[in-house]
Chain A
Amino acid sequence: MVGDFSVGKTSLTQRFVNNVFSDKYLTTIGVKIDTAIVGDDKLIVWDVAGRDSLSPINASYLVGASGVILVADGSRSNTASGLLEIWQMVRKRIGSVPVVVALNKVDLDGWQIDDHSRAILDQQGWDVFATSAKDGKNVEAVFNKLVEKMNSKDS
């Protein structure tokens, strides 16, 4: 799970793995690793600390990943446009692995993703989901989609 700080990477992971949600913001340092079973597959989720003013994303955490979820906060448009740069960095370190995009916090007012921004994301050929870790919307969908893509890449 990669993206800018405070976009909801940990919340999405916790919602998916443990079905819990907390409004409190507690920044992740380094990486937190969780495991979930999806069908026949075991999913090891690396919840990586977000890119922030102190430091960029540590690409070492990406090594060995079979897939990536790019996460942005839909109420902060800069985090969505930032995904392009982040993806460049991911590709450089581990190549073009299966990827999906979660535009999180769709439950909030003040959604800033307009058609233009959306078009830019679609242009990349990404599967984009509007998610909410708070109410659960599209959380399973985005993880399942990535699993689907990772499985089809293997076969």
Chain B
Amino acid sequence: MVEVNLQQQINAQLFDKLQLAYICVDSSMIVVDISDNLSSYGYNDISIGAKVEDCVDFMFGFDAQTQLDLPMIESPSGITIAVSLLPSDSSLMVLISNASNQAEQRQLLQQKANENELLVERQEKLLHQLEQASQQLEFKNQQLEEASRLQTSFLSGVSHEFRTPLTSIIGYTNLVEQSLKSSADKKGCDPEQKAGHLRAVQRSSRHLLSLVENLLDHGKLDSDEIVVRPKEIDLVELFQDVELLLKPLSDTKHVEFNINLDIGDSAVVLIDDSRLKQCLINILGNAVKFTDHGSVSLTAELLDEFLSIRVEDTGPGISADDLEKIRLPFWQAADTGKAGTGLGLTITERIIELLGGKLEVSSVLGEGTQVSFQIPAPMVVTHESSKAFNSPQPLSNMAVLLAEDDHDIADLMVMMMADRGVHLTHVENGALALEAMRSNTFDFVLMDIHMPIMTGHEVLVALQQENNSTPVVIMSASTVEAGRVKAENLGCYDYLIKPVDVDDVIEIMNQVAMNTDISHRP
């Protein structure tokens, strides 16, 4: 009896101290016995005979044979408990004890450890990002350096280009000065000769001017913004220019300069002459510069609409190793003792590419150098008097219609175009314009938008429907962008804002003339 009491007392104490609680369930998981302190853990609704999983959420999923230790579960009261499942033959004992002390300690420890590790991870991430950023910076830096180098090399190259024609100008004006000084003794005062020198000066000046013009639309060295402007060029004249430009240089060095042309008598081709000259002068200039004895010869051949150029010199030649490097900007052979920026060839190569060719360099050390390239040079059907800048001759063969309802404007335009050799047929509204275009073939139409009967837009629509592809240039007084877009969508060739500059119209007509063959018009 006493022992039972003692046992009970010990039990009671144990329970109190450890705040032990228990639930006893049978083999079907029905509650058969519970301790009376379960409510302190927040388990209030456990009643004998109920299914344990309905009253104790963590019991779902277990059966009467489950033996398990669940060290830390949060009880409904918020106290962390330790749960042990102890199965026996016919029942399962669920023991619950207060684990809040361990929980608290664990919480602190775990929180700190995890936060630390997150910090370390974050740090690693940041370091990695830093590394990447630093690499990118490095790369950007290199790019910037490269760009800066290119820019410098470009500027140097440009001034390099200027030197040759300038030297030529100085040379020729010198000659004129000399000849003027000695005019007193009537020796060598041939006016024809002086005129020739001055013409040479003019040519060099014009070349300089076109270089400056090119500069204006010259972007980066390898950007596609460099514009090649093919013009109708007389090749014979071009090579004469080149020869005259280079003569003073070669004469000074006592180096023979030969030009061999196999291009026919009057070869007029469509080519960007200032670019071509730039390349020729650069290559020839280099050849003369590096050749101290012997000769520099230029051979030009025009065959099947391709211009082949070859420059040979008897200079020191280039070693096989250096051959690869000469095209790099800034590079110069170490021991030539020659002044220069080492850039001309880079630019030249690029320009030749743009002209449609490829620069080839071959050389043997001690035996001279050969530079060659081939560019397309389409032939041009020559007009007898087509030497002028904006020759009106071809345009005077064009049938042009003007549709404009304002007589002040129309009369002036007719007159100003007549001054430039272009005959305008004038109608004063859209309907008349359409009629005229149906019964005649016009090469070019200038049309106002705001006209009575039929507007310019309506005419464009009708033309589209009738598959009439005559180029129509719209003149509009409105600067609203939508108007331009609308007109362009309706197929207009170009769009001009009033007041219209007659020279702009001429330029557009030239474009149209180039694209259509009007040479057989009566």
Contact = CB atoms under 8 A, between A and B. Distances in A.
Interface of A: 5-6, 25-27, 29-33, 35, 44, 49-50, 52-54, 58, 60-61, 63-66, 76, 110
B85 to A, nearest CB: 9
B60 interface: yes
Contacts of B58: 33, 44
Contacts of B74: 30-33
Contacts of B61: 44, 63-66
B66 A29 contact: no
B75 to A, nearest CB: 9
Given A35-B57, A44-B60, A52-B114, A29 B103 contact: yes
Contacts of B60: 44, 64
Interface stretch (B104-112, B137-145, B401-409, B484-492): B104-112
Contacts of B111: 26-27
Interface in B64-114: 66, 68-74, 80, 103, 106-107, 109-111, 113-114
Judged by DSSP, the binding face of A is loop
Contacts of B73: 30-33
Given A27-B114, A52-B114, 11 more contacts: A6-B118, A27-B107, A27-B110, A30-B71, A30-B106, A31-B70, A31-B73, A33-B73, A54-B113, A60-B68, A76-B121
B106 A52 contact: no
A150 B125 CA distance: 38
B70 A52 contact: no
B115 interface: yes
Interface of B: 57-58, 60-62, 66, 68-74, 80, 103, 106-107, 109-111, 113-115, 117-118, 121, 125
B70 A53 contact: no
B358 to A, nearest CB: 43
A60 B70 contact: yes
Nearest to B106: A29
Interface pairs A-B: 10 shortest CB-CB? A30-B72, A64-B61, A27-B111, A27-B110, A5-B114, A32-B74, A29-B106, A64-B62, A27-B114, A44-B60
Nearest to B63: A64
A5 B119 CA distance: 13
Given A27-B110, A29-B72, A58-B71, A44 B57 contact: yes
A31 B103 CA distance: 11
A25 B107 CA distance: 12
Contacts of B106: 29-30
Contacts, number: 72
27 contacts: A5-B114, A6-B114, A25-B115, A26-B111, A29-B103, A30-B72, A30-B73, A30-B103, A31-B74, A32-B73, A32-B74, A33-B73, A35-B57, A44-B57, A44-B61, A49-B110, A52-B110, A52-B113, A52-B117, A53-B117, A58-B71, A60-B69, A60-B70, A63-B62, A63-B66, A66-B61, A110-B125
A49 B61 CA distance: 19
A78 B97 CA distance: 37
Nearest to A79: B121
Contacts of A35: 57
Most chain B Cβ neighbours within 10 Å, of A30, A32, A50 = A30
B57 to A, nearest CB: 5
Contacts of B118: 6, 25
B50 to A, nearest CB: 16
Most buried by B among A29, A52, A60: A29
A52 B388 CA distance: 88
A35 B73 CA distance: 14
Contacts of A25: 114-115, 118
A63 B58 CA distance: 11
B110 A29 contact: yes
A56 to B, nearest CB: 13
Nearest to B82: A30
